[in-house]
């Protein structure tokens, strides 16, 4: 689960970490009061969407010459004008995709006097099996670009889970970020505290880009992106309240109600598969034959008719879907039960696109017979190769 920058900063503030004063804004009418509350003389109006690159982003409705999604304002009138212009419009950034995201919340923040912009993140480093810091002096820009062009400017520091962030660790980070004086003193307490917040709140990512050294020599968290480990959310009912459903894909929200592992993608072939590995290979083979999957969907080992129906509804509700591939391996499940579920789902939901069904495993003959004998327009397939070619051909893709 992701949260907004202003929510992440409130959380970090509770840990005593240095963030600027700020006020979230939901309606244009709230802007002036918020500006007065902060006092100026420099304000920053920041779009709150679950995507980075906002500063360099462009509002769809405002044209290429308008300012981006993070704007400086030097007077209350400017705050007002920017809030009115930004709220409700669609921000397109490197991370949102071409459709962009509607900006429904803004964050008005005290402007900082920036000397240097640094990069700092904490993440789960799968190669060492530890939580690790990633730090770079090249903050404020795309860290992927830094990693590609100047990888020597990135420091990765895995943390021993038993010892936590030691003084030696904190010093290494300070050295890597070239911190001296007050900034170094700040760093020595900030880094262990960030780690504490990361672990206590079951975060999977805490990215501060930029962490700044201010003109007065102190450190400040200027941007904050936080993702939590979904599997640990049951431990944090307070954090669940921070979820913003408007930021999430509707189909993914619906899928989560039925405990379906679903991820929306950009292609036109809807996939319904049991097992994550099989779902991945189904997507691969669709690509191999020249088409693109519209989703990842694992209905799970114990899929019943209700789950299959829900999955079908989600797939068919996607206007991009021009064909559906059902690929089920009956291991614990029996193929005839699956066939029944698929047929029932198709009857209930209706079907306006080609559907290819590939079944394998226990009671496969019975399952196939049921599909073949139904009056529904279902194309039956013998194996995964056959199924993928049939569905790609049916949507007019590039299958041989």
Residue 112, contacted partner among Mg ion, ligand ADP, none, CB below 5-8 A by kind? ligand ADP
52 binds ligand ADP per the rule CB under 6 A: yes
Residue 300, contacted partner among Mg ion, ligand ADP, none, CB below 5-8 A by kind? none
Contacts of ligand ADP in 11-40 (CB under 6 A): 20
CB of 118 to ligand ADP, least distance (A): 10
Coil, strand or helix at 169: helix
Which is nearest to 279 in space by CA: 305, 260, 304, 251?
260
Q: How far apart are CA 222 and CA 300, in angstroms?
A: 41
140 binds ligand ADP per the rule CB under 6 A: yes
From the list 104-112, 119-127, 151-159, 363-371, the region that binds ligand ADP by CB under 6 A is 104-112
Work out which of 138, 169, 207, 223 binds ligand ADP, going by CB under 6 A.
Answer: 223
From the list 50-58, 166-174, 334-342, 378-386, the region that binds ligand ADP by CB under 6 A is 50-58
Residue 20, contacted partner among ligand ADP, Mg ion, none, CB below 5-8 A by kind? ligand ADP
Nearer to ligand ADP, 154 or 278 (CB): 154
Token pair recorded at residue 362: 């226990």
Q: Distance of alpha carbon 173 from its chain centroid, rounded? A: 27
70 binds ligand ADP per the rule CB under 6 A: yes
Which is nearest to 397 in space by CA: 302, 269, 274, 276?
269
Size of the site for ligand ADP (CB under 6 A): 18
CB of 83 to Mg ion, least distance (A): 20
Tell me if 159 sits within 8 A of 169, measured CB to CB.
Answer: yes
Q: Distance of alpha carbon 182 from its chain centroid, rounded? A: 35
Q: Which residues are known catalytic residues? A: 119, 207
CB of 69 to ligand ADP, least distance (A): 7
Q: Are strands 114-125 and 43-47 parallel, antiparallel or unpaired?
A: unpaired
Residues at the contact surface with Mg ion, assessed by CB under 5 A: 209, 223
CB of 117 to Mg ion, least distance (A): 9
117 binds ligand ADP per the rule CB under 6 A: yes
Largest CA distance in the chain: 79
User: DSSP class of residue 78?
Assistant: H
Tell me if 323 sits within 8 A of 354, measured CB to CB.
Answer: yes
Nearer to ligand ADP, 70 or 170 (CB): 70
Coil, strand or helix at 40: coil
Residue 169, contacted partner among Mg ion, ligand ADP, none, CB below 5-8 A by kind? none
Residue 290, contacted partner among ligand ADP, Mg ion, none, CB below 5-8 A by kind? none
Q: How far apart are CA 40 and CA 78, in angstroms?
A: 11
CB of 262 to Mg ion, least distance (A): 29
Helix (H) or strand (E) holding 347: helix 335-349
CB of 113 to ligand ADP, least distance (A): 8
Token pair recorded at residue 299: 């209905």
Nearer to Mg ion, 145 or 256 (CB): 145
Residue 111, contacted partner among Mg ion, ligand ADP, none, CB below 5-8 A by kind? ligand ADP
**Other CB atoms within 10 A of residue 264 CB:** 17
CB of 275 to ligand ADP, least distance (A): 37
222 binds ligand ADP per the rule CB under 6 A: yes
Tell me if 346 sits within 8 A of 379, measured CB to CB.
Answer: no
CB within 8 Å of 238: residues ≥ 6 apart: none
Work out which of 111, 158, 217, 361 binds ligand ADP, going by CB under 6 A.
Answer: 111
- The CA–CA distances, whole Å, from 279 to 273, 276, 387 equal 5, 5, 13
207 binds ligand ADP per the rule CB under 6 A: no
Tell me if 315 sits within 8 A of 325, measured CB to CB.
Answer: no
Nearer to ligand ADP, 120 or 371 (CB): 120
Q: How far apart are CA 389 and CA 128, in angstroms?
A: 40
Coil, strand or helix at 5: helix
Residues that bind ligand ADP (CB under 6 A): 20, 44, 46, 52-55, 70, 109, 111-112, 114, 117, 140, 209-210, 222-223
């Amino acid at each position: 689960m992701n949260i907004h920058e202003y929510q992440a900063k409130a959380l970090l503030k509770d840990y005593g970490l240095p963030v600027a004063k700020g006020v979230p804004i939901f309606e244009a009418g709230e802007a002036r009061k918020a500006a007065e509350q902060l006092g100026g003389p420099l304000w920053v109006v920041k779009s709150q969407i679950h995507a980075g690159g906002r500063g360099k982003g462009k509002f769809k409705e405002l044209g290429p010459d308008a300012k981006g999604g993070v704007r400086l304002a030097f007077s209350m009138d400017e705050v007002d004008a920017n809030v009115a212009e930004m709220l409700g419009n669609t921000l397109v950034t490197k991370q949102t995709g071409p459709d962009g995201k509607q900006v429904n919340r803004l964050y008005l923040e005290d402007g900082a006097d920036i000397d240097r912009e640094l990069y700092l993140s904490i993440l789960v480093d799968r190669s060492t099996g530890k939580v690790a810091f990633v730090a770079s002096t090249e903050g404020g820009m795309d860290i992927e670009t830094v990693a590609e062009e100047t990888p020597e400017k990135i420091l990765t520091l895995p943390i021993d889970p038993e010892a936590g962030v030691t003084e030696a660790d904190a010093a290494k980070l300070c050295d890597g970020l070239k911190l001296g004086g007050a900034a170094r003193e700040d760093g020595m307490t900030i880094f262990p505290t960030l780690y504490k917040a990361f672990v206590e709140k079951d975060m999977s990512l805490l990215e501060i880009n930029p962490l700044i050294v201010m003109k007065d020599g102190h450190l400040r968290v200027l941007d904050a992106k936080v993702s939590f480990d979904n599997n640990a959310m049951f431990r944090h009912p307070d954090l669940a309240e921070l979820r913003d459903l408007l930021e999430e894909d509707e189909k993914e929200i619906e899928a989560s109600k039925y405990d379906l592992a679903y991820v929306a993608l950009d292609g036109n072939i809807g996939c319904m598969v049991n097992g994550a590995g099989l779902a991945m290979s189904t997507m691969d083979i669709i690509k191999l034959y020249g088409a693109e999957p519209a989703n990842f969907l694992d209905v799970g080992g114990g899929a019943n008719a209700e789950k299959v129906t829900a999955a079908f509804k989600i797939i068919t509700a996607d206007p991009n879907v021009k064909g559906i591939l059902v690929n089920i391996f009956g291991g614990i499940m029996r193929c005839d039960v699956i066939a029944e579920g698929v047929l029932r789902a198709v009857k209930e939901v209706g079907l306006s696109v080609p559907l290819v069904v590939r079944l394998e495993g226990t009671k496969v003959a019975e399952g196939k017979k049921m599909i073949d004998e139904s009056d529904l327009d279902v194309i039956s397939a013998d194996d995964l190769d056959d199924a993928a070619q049939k569905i790609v051909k049916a949507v007019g893709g590039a299958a041989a």
